[in-house]
Amino acid sequence: MPVNRPTNWKMIAKMTVVGLGCCVGGPALVIYVTPTPEELFLRYNPELQKRSLANREKQQKEFDHFAMRLREYSKSDRPIWLVAEDADKKAREARNIKRQTKEDEKVRSENTT
């Protein structure tokens, strides 16, 4: 017959404190150590700061365009990657048609001269 041992509350309390310390302290340490975007920007050399400021609006527009496309793709019942693939195919076909019409106009203008 097994011996009925008393519960070691001291060990359970220590393990609980250590577990909470890891679960709460780890992420808190990461948040404390991670620099903010402003701090990173200030660490850039002046040339990179100028370039970053110059490209900021363009990058923001590109991101906004990307986000809008994702919103449009998500309205469909199909998976986003399939809808995006279809949209890319349509855009590629439109570019090919546009390029072909330009080439045709160029050939016509060469033939008329």
Q: Could you report the per-residue pLDDT of 69-101, keeping only the tens digit for each?
A: 999 999 989 999 999 999 999 999 999 999 999
Q: Which are the contacts of 76, defined by CB distance < 8 A and separation ≥ 6? A: 83
pLDDT score at 112: 75
- As to burial, measured by CB atoms within 10 angstroms (0-12 exposed, 13-18 middle, 19+ buried), residue 10 is exposed
Q: Is the pLDDT of residue 63 over 80?
A: yes
For residues 37-56, give the mean pLDDT: 92
Q: Is the pLDDT of residue 113 over 80?
A: no
Of 6 and 11, more confident: 11
pLDDT score at 2: 73
pLDDT score at 108: 86
